[in-house]
Amino acid sequence: MSLREQLAAIVGENYVLTDVADAAPFVTDWRGRYQGSAPCVVRPGNTAEVAGVVAACAAAGIAIVPQGGNTGLVGGATPRGGEVVVSLTRLKQIRQIDVDNATITVDAGCTLAAVQAAAAGVGLLFPLSLAAEGTATIGGNLSTNAGGVQVLRYGNARELTLGLEVVLADGRVWNGLRGLRKDNTGYDLKHLFIGAEGTLGLITAAVLKLHPMPRTRLTAWLAVADPAAAVRLLRQLRSHCGERVTAFEIVGRSALDLVLSHISGARDPLAQRHDWQVLVELSDSHADADLNGLFETVVEDELAQGGVLDAVIAASEAQAQALWALRENISEAQRREGISIKHDIALPVSRLAEFITRADAALAEQFPGVRIVCFGHIGDGNLHFNQSKAVAQDNPGFIEQTAAVNRIVHDLVDALGGSISAEHGLGQLKRDEILRYKSAVEMDLMRAVKDTFDPSGMLNPGKLL
């Protein structure tokens, strides 16, 4: 029996895709930058089927690429050629909600939005939130240790996860679905799989933390003098408002202009053009919390000192959603504009303003006319720092200079104590680049972990390592 016949016997004939047109959405990344090929795309419907598929591929010596919603930005879920793609989007069961334990147990193929909705149905919050949440799956979120816009208050995917179920490279299933906040019984294995980009095992389910649902919320859009003023505003807000500061996003002028140009219905919230904006959200579980009073106290001081130049507070949920849409549509607007050189970087918050100033100057000197699109989760030090040329015919030549641009950006990030990948992972895009910044000892340790869990190298080859 051929491998394809074995896979069809496990998952059903309709869930083994071999036609080129049927497989096309699974072998191209969201940005359209990576195009691969696969002998077939397999769509198992439960953990047992995933285990059977992995075991069959292992016996045949065929590598596999695990895939969730295929919304990644570094080619981590795209086959390079010859691997079987295992799409986990049919695993979409909400297995259990434990209100007293404040946990939800879900299949890896559940979309982030579906998990949020299930939690909201019992009056609780699953706080991981990002622009692709309607398509991105929990398995993909965990495999890349996704961050999103509320990391500042709730932490990234790693901090929101209590337990995992994982299919290993030989088809065995590790059931670590424990909803415990204290379990000091040896190595905490789940943390090896979170952020591993499917190179150590296939996450099939997770126990996730839930939080109280906010009952009052404030969303505001402010113009600030510069990134240093944004960092100071963040410090003052956290000092006065504490954990009520849920999100703090910075948006450079070029990023906002792309949204205004490409996204229907988008408009600038402020009357005057400003180089730098921040989107702030405060929230509280008490319905009578005076968020406006806390916010206005800080902003009035910053207005007087010249750090804040203008501000608007959303007066309704619709206005709040419109402000968030400006931030969340930046990546989509960039995609419509055309290809760009993307950087997903992390820095100590205290070094962000210095990085932006120095990187802008270095790039402008070497690449006159470069357009820098800077935005991101400044509250946790994560910037999206992207470059292109404003004139379409100049851009292909500039994109050919990716290595030189990366050297400027990544070397400066490293010099300032940062990381060249904050939340997107390494995938194919940064697999070689990371060798410049991680020590030989660290790389040896990572390879040793890979060799232990996947000695045949069949899980997502050519990614991360």
Span 279-301, pLDDT tens digits: 999 999 999 999 999 999 999 99
Looking at the chain, the number of H-run helices and the number of E-run strands are 16, 18
pTM score: 0.91
Look at residue 193 and tell me whether its pLDDT is greater than 90.
Answer: yes
pLDDT attached to residue 31: 74
User: Helix, strand or coil for residue 48?
Assistant: helix
Tokens representing residue 234 in the block: 């963040």
CA distance 27 to 452: 28
Instruction: Report how far Cα 284 is from the mean position of its chain's Cα atoms.
Output: 25
pLDDT tens readout for residues 358-369: 999 999 999 999
Q: What is the pLDDT of residues 223-241, one digit of tens each?
A: 999 999 999 999 999 999 9
CATH topology for 338-436? Alpha-Beta Plaits (3.30.70)
pLDDT at residue 292, as a whole number = 94
For residue 423, is pLDDT > 90? Answer: no
Mean pLDDT of the chain: 95
Pick from 36, 70, 72, 28: nearest CA to 344? 72
> Mind listing the pLDDT tens digit for each residue in 387-407?
999 887 888 999 999 999 999
Architecture of domain 94-212: 2-Layer Sandwich (3.30)
Helix (H) or strand (E) holding 317: helix 317-328
Q: Which CATH architecture has domain 216-331?
A: 2-Layer Sandwich (3.30)
Which residues belong to CATH 3.30.43.10 in the chain? 3-87
> For residues 143 and 171, what is the distance between their CA atoms, to the nearest angstrom?
18
pLDDT digits (tens, 9 = 90+) for 41-78: 999 999 999 999 999 999 999 999 999 999 887 888 99
For CATH 3.30.465.10, the residue range(s) in the chain are 94-212
pLDDT class of 339 with cuts at 50, 70, 90: confident
Contact 37, 27 (CB under 8 A): yes
CATH architecture of 3-87: 2-Layer Sandwich (3.30)
Query: Using CA atoms, how far apart are residues 331 and 259, in angstroms rounded to an integer?
Result: 9
Res 105: pLDDT: 98
Between 129 and 90, the more confident residue is 90
Rounded Cα gap, residues 453 and 49, in angstroms:
20
For residue 275, name the pLDDT band (cuts at 50, 70, 90): very high
pLDDT value at residue 33: 78
* pLDDT value at 195 more than 80: yes
Least confident of 152-156, 304-308, 325-329, 452-456: 152-156
The Cα angle at residue 22 between residues 16 and 23, in degrees rounded to 5: 75
- State the DSSP H helix or E strand holding residue 249, giving kind and residue range, or none if neither: strand 245-252
The terminus-to-terminus CA distance of the chain in angstroms comes to: 33
